[in-house]
Each structure stands twice: as structure tokens, then as C-alpha cells.
Amino acid sequence: MNSSVRLACLLFATAALALGQSVYPIANMFKPEATPADSIYNISMLMLAICAAIFLVVGGLLLFTIVRFRGRKTDNSREPVQVYGSNRIEIAWTVIPVLIVIVLSMATARAVVEVQNKRMPPDALKVTVVGHQWWWEIRYPELGIVTANELHVPQSSVAKPAHTLLKLQSADVAHSFWVGQLSGKVDLIPGITNSMWLDPRQTGIYLGNCAEYCGTQHANMLIRVIVDSPADFEKWAAAQKMNASADPQLEAARSKFLSLNCINCHTVSGTAAAGTFGPDLSHLMSRTTLASGMIPNTAENLRAWVKDPQAIKHGNLMPNMQLNPRELDEVVTYLASLK
């Protein structure tokens, strides 16, 4: 995708967000919080510095010429002496830009190689991220955890370095995983496994987007990376590993849910629901948002989503199940219990 198309997409995404229900702050790329993002930040600063220097030289010369050689009343109207060709000047304005381009490409190549070839320690946390139209499937194969849209990773510190290695895949079309404060963009391409690594230094929530146009809800394919302290991460992982809650008081609601077509697409661990087409719901309520970061995960929003997902995220692959009010109550009651 060329840069003008990307810019148009970005403007469109921004406008779509502004018109939509929720507005998210844009992550600050100039505040990197992980090693891969540091490399990109350093390259950007080098490029900006060189470009600023060129701008100052060219702009300064231009300004000087405009002022110094401006038309004056006392000028006679004769044309000034015309100069054709100067080997010295031409060599200078060919050689200097070539040197600048060489410096920039070498520095970029070095940063790319450093990030891409970084050897991951054997204890790196391994996560598989699968892009779907329009949500993110997140699997921790070694921990037996499956979740969606909100990627939990441990904080890395000098005393206790923690690396997360992401395997990036796609279930349908090309997507791109981009959380600007943690790393660069890496595409998720059908049939190919790409990778990316993170070592975030600060705990908190990092916002990201799908950065490759992937269809009508591309702008609402939002990512949250939640960086936990090592202890909090252990706690989160332990809770996610457990089977979905099975409150005996909600037996009727659970039976209703399991009798519906929901289970063809969604998994709830420990039940007959084992679909993999949609997000895993085993610990749905541990996530802070619904619809891939579009709306906060509140009881009200959950109900509105189950009632008619198309009204909230038009074109998404979850159909309106046409539940009657009683079924809707039961399904929402059950889902709300999946902590």
C-alpha cells in the first residue's frame, strides 16, 4: 500500500472513530516503551534531524536569495548574467544526497536486523495472534489460554527481563498488528507465520490498531496490550487457565445458551460449546471491551451486542440471532457470569 493510500485510510479511520460511539486516544509513537519501539524511535529521530537540517539549509538559502536579490526600484530591467552548468556544484548536489541516503539506509538496515534477528531467550512467553475479520484471536499454547482482542503480557525490567514472542497469522485476509509504543507494524498474512517480540517496560494499557485495510470494519479492529506486573500476569494467567465458571444457580441460563447456535462459533471451556469461528467466551467478563475494543464491556453493552451485533458493528460476522426477550435475558445472564 503506498503512503497516500495509507494516509487516506488513516484519515478515514480517524473520521470513523470520531463519528462512532467511542473515541480512543491515539497512542504516542514518540514515547516508546519497549526495545523494538526504541529502535524505530531512534531511526525516526535521526531521519527527522537530517531532514530538518536539509530543510534549514534549503529554506535558509531560499530566504537569503529572496531577500538579498529582491527587485529594487533602482534596478535596471536588464536580465542578470545567465550561468549554464557548474561541475563543482552539480557534483556536490549529487554526492551529498547520495551519502545521506546511504547513511539513512545503513542505519535503517541495522535497526531492522537488530530487531528481527534478536534471539529470544527460551523462557520467552509464546503467544499466537490470529487476525480475523474483525477481531484478534489470542492463544498462549504453553499456558493453555485462549482469549481475544486484549493481549496480556508481563512487564520486563532489568532485574527480571520478560520477552513475549508473538506468532502472527491470519484466518482470512491480510491484517497488520500495530501497537506503536511497543513495536513496529507486522502483517498477518494467510498461510504465512510472521513474528514480533515485545519487552514492555511500563505496566498499563497500550492501544493499537489493525494497520492493513481488511474490509468494512478495519477501523474497528482495535488492539489492547495490557502490560501486567509479573505477579499480576501470573494471577491473570491462573484465572484464565481455569474452566469457565459454572454457577449451579444459573443452570437454566446455561442450558439455554448451550441449546442455541452460539456454540457453533464460540467456545466456553468445560461445556459443549467448542466453536472456534468466533472469540472464546470462557472468561468473557475478564475483558474490558466488546467488539474488538469498540465498546466497554458493560452489562448494558453486552445485552445490546447479543441482541443485534449488526447494529453496533455493521458487517461483522456475528448474525442477529433473533432471540426473544426471555432467551436474551438468559443468554446475557449466563455470559455475564463468565468472569
* Chain contacts with ligand CUA (rule: CB under 6 A): 131, 134, 175, 210, 212-214, 218, 221
Helix (H) or strand (E) holding 152: strand 150-154
Among all chains, which residue has been given the C-alpha cell 458487517? 315
Least distance to ligand CUA from the beta carbon of 174, Å?
A: 8
Nearer to ligand CUA, 190 or 296 (CB): 190
Least distance to ligand CUA from the beta carbon of 212, Å?
A: 5
Least distance to ligand CUA from the beta carbon of 166, Å?
A: 15
Distances (CA, A) of 80 to 22, 62, 76, 89: 62, 18, 10, 20
Least distance to ligand CUA from the beta carbon of 171, Å?
A: 11
Least distance to ligand CUA from the beta carbon of 2, Å?
A: 17
Nearer to ligand CUA, 149 or 156 (CB): 149
Among 131, 125, 177, which Cα is nearest to 152's?
125
Nearer to ligand CUA, 156 or 289 (CB): 289
Contact 216, 210 (CB under 8 A): no
Spatial CB neighbours of 312, under 8 Å, sequence gap ≥ 6: 21, 291, 294, 295, 304, 305
Least distance to ligand CUA from the beta carbon of 131, Å?
A: 5
Among 271, 273, 303, which Cα is nearest to 290's?
303
Least distance to ligand CUA from the beta carbon of 170, Å?
A: 8
Nearer to ligand CUA, 32 or 180 (CB): 180
Nearer to ligand CUA, 35 or 316 (CB): 316
Q: Chain centroid to CA 206: how far? A: 9
Least distance to ligand CUA from the beta carbon of 191, Å?
A: 16
Nearer to ligand CUA, 187 or 327 (CB): 187
Among all chains, which residue has been given the C-alpha cell 509504543? 181
Spatial CB neighbours of 287, under 8 Å, sequence gap ≥ 6: 147, 148, 149, 150, 297
**Among positive and negative, which fits the CA dihedral 250, 251, 257, 258?**
positive
Nearer to ligand CUA, 10 or 50 (CB): 10
| Count of other CB atoms within 10 angstroms of residue 284 | 22
Nearer to ligand CUA, 111 or 223 (CB): 223
- Determine the Cα–Cα distance for residues 263 and 291; give it in Å rounded to an integer: 18
Beta-strand pair 204-210/222-228: antiparallel
Contact 239, 286 (CB under 8 A): yes
